Amino acid sequence: MTVLFNFDVTGTDGKARTGVIRTPRGNIRTPAFMPVGTAGTVKAMLPESVTATGADILLGNTYHLMLRPGAERVARLGGLHRFMNWEKPILTDSGGYQVMSLTELRKLTEEGVRFKSHIDGSEHLISPERSMEIQRLLGSDIVMAFDECTPYPADEATARSSMELSMRWAARSREAFGERPGHALFGIQQGSVFRDQREESAEALKAIGFDGYAVGGLAVGEGQELMFEVLDYAPGLLPADRPRYLMGVGKPDDIVGAVARGIDMMDCVLPTRSGRTGQAFTRRGVVNIKNARHAEDPRPLDAACTCPACRSYSRAYLHHVFRAGEIISSMLLTWHNLHYYQDLMAQMREAIAAGRFEAWQRGFHAERAEGDIPPI
Ligand SMILES: [Zn+2]
């Protein structure tokens, strides 16, 4: 029998859950971290290398792909999976967040957002209907409803009108998406840091009915404490039998805290972007490979890591190639960072399944608190 799209929670520990999302393109083990493949590539990585880090799914950006090379062109070339040589599931965002953060001269109306491309100044409209069309042309497995990511800070009245607009757009997204067996549509909860608005938004989304639900409008500058405060209640307002996705998060301790609060999926540019700026995530915190202390250090970045950067290269080499501006620096550090993130997710899945997630979290924080290994 062909798998369409479903989600099973296979274990819980406190609010944390582990499970599996089944799609025609393969299973996604949750909690899942999705590497970001902005423009049809996870920067500095071959698709098979992304697979080797343990990723089950990656994220593509509607805004970038609609402008270059264009959704219709990708469709003519067989869809995004074939175009970028990635066979596993792809989630695409709706374009809403980036159109608001990257473009100037934009105009938001009930219809959608008119804007000028940041690449060549050409004029475009993105609306719920056009966002659904673009994501269909790309061949996305998990499609996100078109929404407005409420900026932070927002006063109650501004947050409310933004949330209500997003809910009207959510209904239009659902209508435009139609019936597409094997493809999923996720709704996005808004409401900023206001509990009553988060509740209303969740009710509106549930009434429309989605295959999964995202917590949107967080990780936009409110800080970890306030984000966790919202996550203490926001995921619980969404249906327990559907995947819950926290968009754009985050640092390793953000991810652990979000999973502890019932989040199943996350994405962030941090591991890939940091890999290009000389920052490595390790069990013992962040290592800045450009620091002079690594110049003659023959030890690996992390002796316990099994990624190629740690198995075959020294800190001294990674320091050298970063300082010399060599492309391999981005390749090795990105690989390491994605491996670290996927390993983190695998450890959490195992700990949740075994009912020892709280003890695991204590170990995670204790190891980070030790800091990097002392210099030689
Ligand atoms: Zn490594």
* Cα-to-centroid distance, 245 and ligand 1 (Å): 27
Question: Which two tokens mark 15?
Answer: 């609010």
Task: Look up the pTM and report it.
Answer: 0.98
Is 232 marked active-site?
Answer: no
Q: How far is the CA of 350 from the centre of ligand 1 (A)?
A: 20
Residue 276 Cα to ligand 1 middle (Å): 15
Torsion-angle region of residue 195: left (phi > 0), alpha (psi -120 to 50) or beta?
A: alpha
- The alpha-carbon radius of gyration of the chain (Å, integer) is 21
Q: Which pLDDT value is given to residue 370?
A: 96
Annotated catalytic residue, options 93, 147, 211, 302 = 93
Q: Which of 267, 297, 302, 343 is catalytic?
A: 267
Residues 6+ apart with CB under 8 A from 168: 110
pLDDT at site 28: 98
Q: By the 8 A CB rule, do 334 and 45 touch?
A: yes
Which uninterrupted H or E stretch holds 213?
Answer: strand 212-215
pLDDT (tens digit, 0 to 9) for every residue of the chain, 376 residues total? 567 999 999 999 999 999 999 999 999 999 999 999 999 999 999 999 999 999 999 999 999 999 999 999 999 999 999 999 999 999 999 998 988 888 777 899 999 999 998 889 899 999 999 999 999 999 999 999 999 999 999 999 999 999 999 999 999 999 999 999 999 999 999 999 999 999 999 999 999 999 999 999 999 999 999 999 999 999 999 999 999 999 999 999 999 999 999 999 999 999 999 999 999 999 999 999 999 999 999 999 999 999 999 999 999 999 999 999 999 999 999 999 999 999 999 999 999 999 999 999 999 999 999 999 999 9
3-state secondary structure 333-358: HHHHHHHHHHHHHHHHHHHHHCCCHH
Q: Which positions ≥6 away from 256 have C-beta within 8 Å?
A: 344, 348, 361, 364
What is the pLDDT at residue 1? 56
Cα–Cα distance, 251 to 39 (Å, whole number): 22
In the reported structure, the alpha carbon of residue 309 is separated from the centroid of ligand 1 by a whole-number distance in angstroms of 5
Of 374, 376, 207, 363, give the one whose Cα is nearest residue 283: 363
Is residue 93 among the annotated active site residues? yes
Asked if the bond preceding 31 is cis, omega within 30° of 0, the reply is: yes
